[in-house]
Amino acid sequence: MAPVEEAKELEAETSLVSLPTIETVASESDDPPVDDKSWKKGSLAATQRGRVQRPFFQDAIVPPPNGSIVPVLYKPRRRSRCCVFGGDDGSNRMPWSTFFAIGLGALVSFIVVVALIARVGHNMRSGNPKDNRHVTMYPTLSPSTVEPTSSEPSMPPTISPAPTLTPAPTPPETTAVPSTVPTPDRANPPGSIVAKYGLLEARNTRLVSQVTGTEVQLKGMSLFWTNTGWEGHVFYTEGVVESLVNNWNISIIRCAMGVEEEGGYIDYETANKLRVLTVVDAAIRMGIYVIIDWHTHYAQNYLSEAVRFFQDVATVYSDMPNVIFEIYNEPLLETEWDLTIKPYAETVVESIRRTGSENLILVGTRSYSQRVDEASRDPIDDINIAYVFHFYAASHGEWLRDYARAASNVTLFCSEWGSVSADGSGNPDEDSVREWIDFMDERSISHVNWVLNDKNEGASALKPGSSIRGVWTEEDYTDSGLLAREIISETGSYAPG
């Protein structure tokens, strides 16, 4: 069956499902509840250990105290499908925070996601909901399995309206068990950079460790746009993160969430979000910092979407010092700081802070994130903000560094730099790159290279056809990739003194 036909068939199957009763069943067991009748009817249940709560789609804003649920879907029509979200510990549990991030919003969307994950993961044996085979929490959702190719319409398919949910009977209460929500101490390996430095604060024009009080400079790589069909989305894998940490010595990785462009967040919210969450969770497991970037030139046109997205991810990761929010990638030349960028940023920043998050927030500046001088004259009133500048070594030189020098009263962060021309083409200008690196090192400015991708252009670190799992040899790297690896691996991060 052709990939597109398969996706359409899956969509059709999903739309046929009579929306099941949502149950929240307290249990001492890690297994899904066993009820042959309900399973045969295609019920969706969540085993929430420790407390009984009302149906979670209707009352899910506050996570359960134990932090762990077991969403299971069994659908007997045509081919039987049953999916258990797997947890990091190999069990059939998943963190509530993860479910909240990918499942909340529209019930129909969640049913579709569960069905897709079931297909990508495995089909469980009919009538056996206690099948505990581990399923990867975040399967790679590629165009061949979940979304139409470029020849198909860019808008997502229409899903049939869902009928009204019927609450299930309240089961007996059980003794509470310890929470399985990951904590910073457990999630970040001992000795990792985040375990050492913790939350980063923009203080006195520098990034400073909340733990040690010392300056910290991060060096790492940016992934390509998350957009489906844009080549780079396939590199949003755990293997890529592990390889960059182990072989490049990166201390930070950037997720470039495409927004309004074809195949991006507006078209395929769930798939793009899953890609980002895959990398964020991998970064946390490896103990490095990670930027969640709203990668657009027109963020002010998608304010409500940005607020909702950043509130969602900030709610999930508010206690994780790894996460850095970049709320506007590159405003255009004509997009004014005082009239457009700053008001937009203030709204999004406030929405993040309402979640309780104190994490560092990066704000792009006018003219493709070059005019940090303008932002420095009218900064945002917030506890933890850094201002973004970008450069491409073959196109930008001393005049752009002058803008950065003028912004002497704020913290700067270079969330994107390239060794080639600003359009991503050409060969690396190593002399210019070295001048820029010296400039940033002198000022402890953290920086992220563009881009970990195999697209056939000068900025890409990998040659076409390179592994999406991070298994690379010297022959896989482009000249840009070799230069970036050399610069990053020299000192992935440092704290003077």
Total residue count of the chain as it appears in this document: 497
361 closest CA partner among 352, 370, 372, 371:
352
pLDDT tens for 19-51 read 333 333 333 333 333 333 332 223 333 333 222
Distance separating alpha carbons of residues 457 and 463, to the nearest angstrom: 9
Q: Is 457 a catalytic residue?
A: no
Predicted confidence (pLDDT) at residue 78 exceeds the cutoff of 80: no
Select the more confidently predicted residue: 157 or 254. Answer: 254
**Cα angle: 100, vertex 245, 276; to 5 degrees:** 25
**Kind of pairing between the strands at 217-225 and 252-258:** parallel
Distance separating alpha carbons of residues 88 and 43, to the nearest angstrom: 25
pLDDT, the chain, mean? 74
pLDDT tens for 417-428 read 999 999 999 999
| Local confidence band at 493 (pLDDT 50, 70, 90 cut-offs) | low
| Local confidence band at 492 (pLDDT 50, 70, 90 cut-offs) | low
* DSSP one-letter code for 232: G
Distance separating alpha carbons of residues 384 and 362, to the nearest angstrom: 9
Q: Dump strand ranges (E) for 333-482.
A: 361-363, 385-392, 412-418, 447-452
Cβ burial of 399 (10 Å; 0-12, 13-18, 19+) is exposed
Tell me, what's the pLDDT at 210? 98
Distance separating alpha carbons of residues 24 and 169, to the nearest angstrom: 9
Cβ atoms of 24 and 165 within 8 Å: the answer is no
Q: What sign results for the dihedral spanned by CA atoms 112, 117, 123, 127?
A: negative
Q: What is the pTM of this model?
A: 0.67
Q: Which two tokens stand for residue 186?
A: 């457990």
252 closest CA partner among 281, 223, 278, 283:
283
pLDDT tens for 269-288 read 999 999 999 999 999 999 99
Select the more confidently predicted residue: 172 or 459. Answer: 459
pLDDT tens for 92-126 read 444 444 444 444 333 333 333 343 333 333 333 23
pLDDT tens for 159-195 read 333 333 334 334 333 333 333 333 333 479 999 999 9
Q: Which two tokens stand for residue 201?
A: 């604060």
Tell me, what's the pLDDT at 490? 85
User: Using omega within 30 degrees of 0 as the cis cutoff, is the peptide bond preceding 451 cis?
Assistant: yes
Tell me, what's the pLDDT at 132? 38
Give the whole-number percent of the chain exceeding pLDDT 90. 61
State the catalytic residue, choosing from 147, 269, 416, 457: 416
Select the more confidently predicted residue: 185 or 488. Answer: 488
Mean pLDDT of 256-261: 99
Predicted confidence (pLDDT) at residue 155 exceeds the cutoff of 80: no
Domains and CATH numbers, the chain: 1-180 (no CATH), 184-494 (3.20.20.80)
138 closest CA partner among 124, 122, 121:
121
State the catalytic residue, choosing from 238, 330, 374, 457: 330
Select the more confidently predicted residue: 166 or 412. Answer: 412
Backbone angles phi, psi at 325, to 5 degrees: -100, 125
Q: Is 416 a catalytic residue?
A: yes
Q: List Cβ neighbours of 76 (8 Å cut-off, separation of 6 or more).
A: 40, 42, 126
Q: Kindly state the helix (H) or strand (E) to which residue 216 belongs, with its residue range.
A: none
